Structure 1
Amino acid sequence: MQTYDFIVVGSGSAGSVVAERLSASGRFSVLVLEAGGSDCRFYIQMPLGYGKTFYDPAVNWNYRTEPDPGLAGNADHWPRGKVLGGSSSINAMVWIRGHPADYDYWRELGNPGWGYDDVLPAFKAIEDNAAGADRWRGTGGPVRVTDCFPSIHASTKRYLAAAEQAGLAFNPDFNGATQEGVGVYQINTAGGRRMSAARAFLRPAMKRPNLRVEMKALATRILFEGKRAIGVEYEQKGARHTVRASREVIVCGGSINSPQLLQLSGVGPAAHLSALGIDIVEANENVGRNLEDHVGLNYTYKGRGPTLNQLLRPWWGKLLLGMQYVFLRSGPLSLSLNNAGGFFRTDASRPRPNMQLYFQAFSTVIPKNGERPILTPDPWPGFSIGLSNCRPTSRGEIMIRSKTPREYPKIVANALSTEQDVAEMLAAVKFVRRIASMPALAEFIEEEIVPGPSVQSDEELIQDFRKRSGTVYHPVATCRMGPDPAASVVDPRLKVHGLEGLRVIDASVFPTNISGNTNAPTIMTGWKGAEIVLRDWS
C-alpha cells in the first residue's frame, strides 16, 4: 500500500487549491484522486463552450433530482464537473464573492475565523483582478479576474439603463464596497480562456515531484482504523486500489460527492446506512442533509433589433466568431453566458439583497438535444433576463441508494417548498417585468416570448415559475460546518466531528448559502482550509 502525507479526494474548485497549497512547500507528499479525466478540451477552455459540456458525460456527472413538487413535478438536471477542475471547468465563470453579511453570519453561527474580515484576505490573495488592487480587490494571485464591460453587446447596455430606470443604482463592482445594484459581471478568464481551478492551481502544481494526480480514479470508500481515517479505496480501469494517508484524508468532492463518500464509508445517518448494510463508523444525522440551492428562471423577449442570436446561429456567424476567438481570443466566445446582472431586494425593509439578476444578450427558447443551446440560439433576435434567489429557506437532502459507489445518490431538492421562497420569487418576477417595461428596453421589445403576456395573475405567475424554474447550480451545506455535532458535520477547522485524520473542504461545508455564485467562495474555502491544515501540521 503506497503512503502519502495527504490524500485529496477530488480536484474541483476546492480540491485543486488544497492540493496546490499543501504541496507548495515540498515538505508533504500529496495524492489527488479525480474520478474524471483531463481538462485539455477545447470546449472547456473556450468560455462560451460550456454549452457543449452541459450534458457531456465525458466531463459531467449529469445528476438528476427526484421529481420535485415545488417545480411542478419536474426532475431537475444538475450538472457537476467530472474532470480536472471539477465544476469550475464547466461553469459560467461569474466571479461573485457574496455579501459580507453572509460570512459574518457564518461566524455568528459559531464558526470563528470565517467572518468577512477573515475571508477577505483570502479572496484578495487568490485574485489577479484586471481592474487593479484596492481595499477589496487583489492582484498577483493565481486567478485572473476580468471585467466584461468593454465587450458587452448593445442590448446589454439597454438592460443596464432600464434597470437604473427601474430604481437600481449602477454598481461597477459587486465584489467591492456594496453588492446591491446593477452592473457588468467579472469573470474568471485569462487571455480569452477559462481560468478554472485546475488551470490556476492544480496544473502548475502538477510539475512538483511531491504531488501525484490520478485521473479516472473513483474513490469508493474511506478506510478507518477505529475512529481514524488511514486511507482511501478507489477504482481505476476496472481494478481496485488502496492508498494510505499518514496525516489526513481530505474530501473535496463537492456538495453531492462528499456526503456520498462519507455515507459509503459509514459516516452518516445511522438508520439509513444500517438499512443498506453499511457498518457505522460515526453516526451523524447531518451528512447529506441541510441541502441548500439557488433556483431561478428566465423571462425571454423578442427584440426589434439584432442581438447575439444573429451572430451565433448562422454558419457564417459561427465561422466569423470562431476565427475571432481562435486568432484574437476575443468576441462573444471569450465571455460568459451572463455578461451583466445585479442584486436587489424584493422588499425595501430587507437589510441586504435577496435576489440576483442575469442578462443574456441572446435567447435559447428552442431546445436542442444533447447540449444547452448556447451556441445555437433562437432564429429571431432574442434576449433573456434571468433571476435567482440568494438565501432560500427551502432545504433538501442527498442520500445514497445502496452500497454501490457508482450508483448515483438520491437528490431531493425540495425547491420552492416554503411560503417565503414562493413569495420572494413572485415579487422578483414582477420586478423583472418592471425592468422590461422601462423605456430603455420597452422601445426595443417586440414581444415577451416566455412566459408571454397571457400570464398575469399571481396564481398564473406562481404556476409558471414552478414549471420553469430550476437549479442555478449552487448546492451547498450537505456537510455543513458548525461547533455542535448534533447540527453539523465538520467543526470550524473543517475536521469531521468524532473522527481523526479526516476533513471536508468544499462547498458542502458552507453553513448557509452565500448571496451569489458559489465558485469564488468555494475556491476561497479551499485556500482557507489548506491554511488551517498547514497550521495544524506546522
Structure 2
Amino acid sequence: MKFAVFRRLLSKLLLLLTLTSVKADLFTKATRTKADERDLRQSVFDFIIVGGGTAGCVLANRLSAVSDWKVLLVETGDDENIDYNIPGVPTNEYRPILWNYRTERNGYSCLSRPSGSCEVKTGKVLGGSSVTNDMKYTRGSKVDYDGWHNTGTLASLEWKFENLIDDFKYSEDNGDYDILMNSLYHSRGGEMHVKKFKYTDRYIEVFNGAFSEMGLRTLDINTNIPEAVVNNQFAMINNTRLSTNSAFLKPVRHRKNLTILKGATVTKIVINKQENTVDGILYEIEKGKERPAYVKREIILTTGAINNVRLLHLSGIGPKIELKKYNITTIKDLPVGMNYQDQVTTGGLAFVMNDVAPVTEEKITNDFKTWFQSRSGPLASRGINQVSAFLQLYENINAPDVELALDGNYIRSDKYLLTNLTVHSAEEFNLPLPYYNLVNIHPILLRPKSKGRVLLNKRNPKYGRPVIQANLLKETEDLDTLVDSIDIALQLLDTKEMKKAEVKFAPLDLFPCDRLSNRDQWNCIARHYTRAMSRPIGTCRMGDNSTESVVDFQLRVHGIEGLRIIDASVMPSHVRGGIFAPTLMIAEKGAKMILKDWKENKGHFYNR
C-alpha cells in the first residue's frame, strides 16, 4: 500500500476508536459487530463521486478503469427512461428528472414571469443535464478559454485553448465527414458520438436560406469562427439522444470496482478539522436518516453550480460571514457561491407560418411508431432547433456575442387564438418539437457581464431550494447586446426567402410593453420576458488564490486535502456556446489530473 494512502487510512482507523459525538461518531458504531465490520469494509472507497450528471458519469468511467481503485458514484435521481432519448421530445419539461429552481425577484429581469422570477432547470437523473438539455454540441471560442489563463500563473497555462483541444477530442466520435475534414478540432473513436440529423423540413431550409441571404455562411462553429449559420451537431447515436450515462456509464456498469448508488442525496462532506482532510460523506436515501461512506483518496463534487454550493456550505466550506448566519462552523473560508453566471435570452420574438397542415393524433402516433421501429421520421430530429445563427455584433473580439436559437411550437391556428397569444403560450410546448407552426427566436447572450450568487435557503438550509440571486440583465451592456441582436433577427422578415414562404411576425400580447415602440419596447420585453438558459457556472471558480477562487488550476479545493470539484461550476466565465461540451472536456481533463496525481506521483496528493 502506498505510504500516503496508508497514512490516511490509519488516521481513519484512529478516528474509529476516538470519535464519540453523534455527528462525529460515523465510524465507531461500525466496529461493534463482525457484520458491521464487513459493512464498513464495503463502504470504504478510493474515490467518491458526488453527482452522476454530465461530468460524474465520465469520471466514473475513467477512474474505475483502474482495476485496483474502488469507486462510488452517488446520484439523487434515477436512471433515464427510453422516452427521454427520443430527440423530438422536449425533456426539459419533465419535472421529475429536473432540479426545478427559480431565481430571486429583482428589478432587472423576469418581471412578467410567474412570481417575477426565472426558472433554472438542471438534470436530476443519471446523466444529469445531458438528459435534459438541447443536445447541441457547441464548444465556445478560443478567446473564452484563453481568458481563463492568469498571466504569471504557470498552472493556468493548462487551460489555454491550445492545451484543451486534445481533451475535447479525447471522447469525441464525430460522424459527419465534412466536419471531420478539419482534424485539428475533431476526431473519431471516442464514446461521445456527435452528428447532424438527416431529417429536414421545408422551414429548416427557409430559415437557412434567409440567414444565408443576410450574409451568414454555413460553417462549423466549433472551429473558432465569429459568425455563421449552423446546422448543429447533436449528442446522439442512431437518431437517439446520447447522454453521458448511456455513453460512459452503462458500458462499464459491470465493473466490480464500481458502485452506483441511485436515489441518494449527499448531505455533508465529513472533514477532519485537525488535518483539513476529507474522511467521507453523509448521504440520505430516506429523509432524515443519514448514512456514512468513507474515502481513502478523494471526494469529487460534480453536482453543478447550484447544488455544489449547498453541499459545501452545509459542510462548512464557504464565506464565513454567510455560514455564521446558519450557525455552521466554518472549516474553510472560501467564496463558494459567488460569481454565479447564466446565459440569458428573452421571449417575445416569434414568427408564424400560415400554411402548415394540421397535426393529427394519428400522425403523431404513427411517427412515434416509426421512431421506435426504425429510429427515423420526424421524431428523429429536433425540428427547427437544428438551425442556429451565431452573430458577432462588436468588433473588439473575433468571436460571436449572440446565438439566435430557434424553437418550434404548434399553436391552434384559428384567428381568435392568434390575436390573443401570450408570450407564455407561445413558448409552452404543446407537441413534440418537429411539429410547429410558430418559431420562437431566442437571442442568447453568450457572454453575460451580469453576475450573482447562490446562498442557502433561509428557512430550511438542508432541504430547501438554494437561493439564486442571479442578477440577470443587471448590467445595461447585457440588455443592449440582446436588443441589438433582436434588431438583426427582425431583418429576417425582409429576406426574399421569408416573404416567399409568407412567414410573418407573430401577433403576441406583449403587455405591459404593448404601448411602447421600437427599442424602448424591446428593452421592456427583455426585462419582462427574460429567460435563464439553465447553464449555470462559476460558483466554484478556479484560480490561484483562496480569496477570489474556490479551486486551484488542478481543480483541488483550496486548503482541503482530498476534495476536488470537476464540473461547470469551476468555469471562471462563460464560453460562447452551451456548457455540455465544455463540461465533458473539464471531466476528461480532471480525470487525467487525478490519474497523474495518484499513478505518476506515487500516490502523493499535493494541495498547496
Mapped contact 1:401–1:408 kept (Cα < 8 A): yes
Q: Which residue of 2 aligns with 1:259?
A: 309
Instruction: Supply the AA of the counterpart residue of 1:232.
Output: I
Q: Which residue of 2 aligns with 1:359?
A: 406
Q: Which residue of 2 aligns with 1:524?
A: 585
1:297: Cα distance to partner? Answer: 2.7
Once the two structures are superposed, the pairs formed by residues 88-487 of structure 1 within 5 Å of their partners are 88-108=130-150, 110=153, 111-132=156-177, 133=180, 134-148=183-197, 150-171=198-219, 173-176=220-223, 178=225, 180-226=227-273, 227-238=276-287, 239-284=289-334, 286-298=335-347, 299-306=349-356, 310=357, 313-336=359-382, 338-363=385-410, 372-373=428-429, 375=431, 381-402=437-458, 404-449=461-506, 451=508, 456-487=517-548
Mapped contact 1:55–1:372 kept (Cα < 8 A): no
1:40-67, CA deviations, whole angstroms, 9 ceiling, x for partnerless residues? Answer: x13212122234x5242x2111111112
Instruction: Supply the AA of the counterpart residue of 1:252.
Output: T
Identity percentage of aligned residues: 29
Q: Which residue of 1 aligns with 2:86?
A: 46
Q: Which residue of 2 aligns with 1:5?
A: 46
Mapped contact 2:408–2:435 kept (Cα < 8 A): no
1:190-223, CA deviations, whole angstroms, 9 ceiling, x for partnerless residues? Answer: 1121110111111112111000010011000000
Judge which range, 327-336 or 393-402, deviates more: 327-336
* Alpha-carbon distance between aligned partners in 2 of 1:214 and 1:61, rounded to the nearest angstrom: 18
Question: Between Structure 1 and Structure 2, how many residues are aligned?
Answer: 527
Flag structure 1 segments of 5+ consecutive residues without an equivalent.
none
* Alpha-carbon distance between aligned partners in 1 of 2:379 and 2:433, rounded to the nearest angstrom: 13
Q: Structure 2 length normalisation: TM-score?
A: 0.83
* Alpha-carbon distance between aligned partners in 1 of 2:340 and 2:371, rounded to the nearest angstrom: 39
Matched, 1:67 2:105: yes
1:331-366, CA deviations, whole angstroms, 9 ceiling, x for partnerless residues? Answer: 332223621102111224443211012123445667
Task: Identify if the C-alpha distance between structure 1 residues 70 and 477 changes in structure 2 by more than 3 Å, giving closer, same or farther.
Answer: same
1:27: Cα distance to partner? Answer: 2.5
Mapped contact 1:481–1:509 kept (Cα < 8 A): yes
Give secondary structure in 2 for the equivalent of 1:183: strand
Task: Identify if the C-alpha distance between structure 1 residues 131 and 240 changes in structure 2 by more than 3 Å, giving closer, same or farther.
Answer: same
1:484: Cα distance to partner? Answer: 1.7
* Alpha-carbon distance between aligned partners in 2 of 1:15 and 1:196, rounded to the nearest angstrom: 12
* Alpha-carbon distance between aligned partners in 2 of 1:378 and 1:3, rounded to the nearest angstrom: 48
Mapped contact 1:14–1:526 kept (Cα < 8 A): yes
1:254: Cα distance to partner? Answer: 0.5
Matched, 1:84 2:134: no
* Alpha-carbon distance between aligned partners in 1 of 2:539 and 2:528, rounded to the nearest angstrom: 26
Matched, 1:31 2:72: yes
Give secondary structure in 1 for the equivalent of 2:108: helix
* Alpha-carbon distance between aligned partners in 1 of 2:436 and 2:590, rounded to the nearest angstrom: 48
* Alpha-carbon distance between aligned partners in 2 of 1:21 and 1:342, rounded to the nearest angstrom: 35
Mapped contact 1:366–1:377 kept (Cα < 8 A): no
Mapped contact 1:354–1:390 kept (Cα < 8 A): yes
1:122-171, CA deviations, whole angstroms, 9 ceiling, x for partnerless residues? Answer: 111111100144221111100110112x3222211111111122222221
Q: Structure 1 length normalisation: TM-score?
A: 0.93
Mapped contact 1:266–1:273 kept (Cα < 8 A): yes
Judge which range, 105-114 or 424-433, deviates more: 105-114
Task: Identify if the C-alpha distance between structure 1 residues 116 and 446 changes in structure 2 by more than 3 Å, giving closer, same or farther.
Answer: closer
Aligned alpha-carbon RMSD (Å): 2.2
1:391-414, CA deviations, whole angstroms, 9 ceiling, x for partnerless residues? Answer: 110001111125642211101111
Instruction: Supply the AA of the counterpart residue of 1:464.
Output: I
Task: Identify if the C-alpha distance between structure 1 residues 189 and 378 changes in structure 2 by more than 3 Å, giving closer, same or farther.
Answer: closer
1:436: Cα distance to partner? Answer: 2.8
1:373: Cα distance to partner? Answer: 1.3
* Alpha-carbon distance between aligned partners in 1 of 2:566 and 2:231, rounded to the nearest angstrom: 30
Give secondary structure in 2 for the equivalent of 1:137: coil
Mapped contact 1:54–1:372 kept (Cα < 8 A): no
1:210-258, CA deviations, whole angstroms, 9 ceiling, x for partnerless residues? Answer: 0001001100000001211111100013432101110011000011111
Mapped contact 2:48–2:295 kept (Cα < 8 A): yes
Give secondary structure in 2 for the equivalent of 1:151: coil
Instruction: Supply the AA of the counterpart residue of 1:292.
Output: Q
Mapped contact 1:155–1:361 kept (Cα < 8 A): no
Q: Which of 1 and 2 has greater Rg?
A: 2
1:77: Cα distance to partner? Answer: 1.1
* Alpha-carbon distance between aligned partners in 1 of 2:206 and 2:218, rounded to the nearest angstrom: 13
